[in-house]
Amino acid sequence: MRRRCTWNIFQSIEYAGEQDQIKLYNFFGFLMDHFTPASSERNLISHIFRENEICHDADWERYFCYKDIEVPESYSGPHLTFPMTFCGLSKLMEAFKLKQQLHARYVLQILGETWRLLRILPNINHISVCHTKEITICGDLHGQLEDLLLIFYKNGLPSCEKPYIFNGDFVDRGKNSLEILLILFGFLLVYPNDVHLNRGNHEDHIVNLRYGFTKEVLGKYRVHGKKILKLLQKIFSWLPLATVINHKVLVVHGGISVSTDLDMVARMDRHRYVSVLRPPKMIRHTLNGNRTVISKNEDATGPAEARRRVRSLTNTSTLAQRHNVPRRSLHNLPTTGNQMNCSVEEELKKRRRLAGFDQTYRETKTLDSDSDPEFGEPTETHGHEWKQIVDLLWSDPMPQNGCIPNEVRGGGCYWGSDVTEEVLRRHNLQLLIRSHECKQDGYEFCHNRRVLTIFSASNYYEMGSNRGAYIRMGPDLVPHFIQYQASSTSRELTLRQSIGWTERSALRALRQQLFVHKSDLIGAFQEFDPNNTGVISLRHWATATERVLQLGLPWRVLRPQLVSRAQHGMVDYQQWIRELSITEPKPEVSDTSIMETMYKNHSNLETIFRIIDTDHSGLISFEEFRQTWKLLSSHLKMEIGDKAIMDLAQSMDFNKDGSIDINEFMEAFRLVDLSTHA
């Protein structure tokens, strides 16, 4: 029970963050769809939707030319020659083991060569295994270089005799995402027929803004980081979407849905979808011959209602719904909620007033798509293709039959064993191998052993939280598992110590969530305390806590770990809030509500900062700082005064030069759990 609760805490908080990411991006999409191109808030974010600023291959070649970048004599890292060789790869891995950094010239060379190779690969790689050549399949690595090197140590390096499939999510969260990419791309260049890379949902430049990869690249390559990121956007869009082994085993990062059509996947132009989070526009021809821009999911409620999606990328929820339905949790699978009527014009007026913008706005656009050139020329086919890719990269299996929107993550679907049977039968397959979900043992079967999840990042949530694993498969197509833990510390822990360590870490993360919602919690508790006694029952405490955090956790089971004092089934909630053991910074800010907003939306705020920091300098001006907060307040439907924002900006301008360092700002407002220092 302890282990299961700990796991639920970690996963619920992780998936809640993914929901927030997609909600924020959907809000940006709402601005792009409905605000005029000249509006200030649209200008702030429009660049992240311009997915093909340089269209021709020759232009890309010139833009990413590395030849004018000199390698100084003082450089002590590995020197690479091209075409890449196994010897060069060995030097590269040895340098990364020693924490050396590869020169930007070589990074751009590897990325450029990788882009040229990926462009000739199919959307679905078809490969064969035989008695003399087993294949190794790895799941998510998430920037954990130690795991990749351990896999190579235990299993052997990729080669003609030892082929590999790496099933996406190479980047984000860990500290060595770029090193992992460079190693995998290097092996792809040396053994293009024996190393296969599938795209994951984190191979997406919008997701990277939130989960660390963008920050990692800019921190390691301050001069050429912007070029590196731009080329990686292009490379991610060209990564294959799936691999099929011996015509019988499908390997894909996320999963499938009831509408999965591998023939359509094989035909599409995958590189059009630079960010999978952005649904394409479509063209509808009206009776009079005019063209109207609509959303992929338009239904009887009209294009405006359909476009204002929230909880799932391919679901038709509205923006107004977000504040009237609970956040979906992993342990409380979603059901269809009631639609709320809210016109686009009313929504826009309210949001613009809250955000303090005064430029003109317009209703749903019905102009030709050429009026918005950064999106190219969409067709109805693109909408169906987009849903196929979202389902492949974002979906998760569920125990129940059926197929429903994945409102826990916010993208893809949940599919049941009946869908597995149908899709496998339709394509004459016998097994689906996917990744995308951390598993305690590194792997897990479901759906009558027709679906297998493999996850290769050990200690993903915390030291000892999970093993990593990889698969070896021969011509009999029977998977064999090898498990490991990359950290020597975690390997030395007993089972009891490991459970205790991860439990403390999970509770620490949960206390932080409780702390940042303390005002909302007090309000919810007071609803059960009409006489202001300061005391409520444990049942009411659990009900109110779930209502506020919406994590789907067994609060009454967790109560002994979270509430130290409870007499006769009653909780002193005022005292409990004071005892959460969290400390916070104390800047001189006139409006304390802005501080709570800061804690609750720490990741969203950093995402907007990095979007607005178009030159990737790591610095933003006071005005950009103000615009960031105005965008966030509009997204959250709340008012934040200019004075409070400027007070905060001035308190963070340490050297008084009128600009704010993003990293320093985010670190200054990171909460610290005092219980870890007890």
Give residue for tokens 């990042």. 457
Q: Please say if 202 is a catalytic residue.
A: yes
Q: Please state, in angstroms and rounded to a whole number, the distance separating the CA atoms of residues 571 and 591.
A: 30
Cβ–Cβ < 8 Å for 473, 248:
no
At residue 195, the 3 state secondary structure works out as: strand
List % helix, strand, coil for the chain (3-state, nearest 5).
Answer: 45, 10, 40
* Cα atoms in the 13 Å half-sphere on the side-chain side of 518: 21
- Euclidean distance between the first and final Cα of the chain, in Å? 26
Q: Please state, in angstroms and rounded to a whole number, the distance separating the CA atoms of residues 603 and 601.
A: 6
Q: Please state, in angstroms and rounded to a whole number, the distance separating the CA atoms of residues 168 and 174.
A: 14
Q: What is the dihedral of CA 585, 588, 590, 592, to 10 degrees?
A: 10
Cβ–Cβ < 8 Å for 464, 479:
no
What the block records as the tokens of 173 is 């969260």
Give residue for tokens 């956007």. 233
Residues in a beta bridge with 620: 660
Cβ–Cβ < 8 Å for 636, 601:
yes
Cβ–Cβ < 8 Å for 659, 621:
yes
What the block records as the tokens of 447 is 């759906």
Phi/psi class of residue 212: alpha, beta or left (left: φ > 0; alpha: ψ in -120 to 50)?
left
Residue of 202, 205, 436, 447 marked catalytic: 202
Q: Cβ atoms within 10 A of the Cβ of 499, count?
A: 16
**CA geometry: angle at 41 spanning 37 and 46, to 5°?**
55
Residues in a beta bridge with 472: 136, 480
Residues in a beta bridge with 536: 571
Cβ–Cβ < 8 Å for 673, 646:
no
At residue 505, the 3 state secondary structure works out as: helix
The widest CA-to-CA distance across the chain, in whole angstroms, is 77
Q: How far is CA 645 from CA 519, 549, 597, in A?
A: 20, 26, 12
Give residue for tokens 């995998």. 184
Q: Please state, in angstroms and rounded to a whole number, the distance separating the CA atoms of residues 428 and 337.
A: 36
Q: Please state, in angstroms and rounded to a whole number, the distance separating the CA atoms of residues 80 and 200.
A: 28
What the block records as the tokens of 203 is 């191979």
List, in sequence order, the alpha helices (H) in 408-494. 417-426, 488-492
At residue 215, the 3 state secondary structure works out as: helix
Q: What is the dihedral of CA 514, 141, 171, 508, to 10 degrees?
A: 10
Name the residue among 651, 653, 650, 627 with its Cα closest to residue 640: 627
* Residue numbers annotated as active site: 202
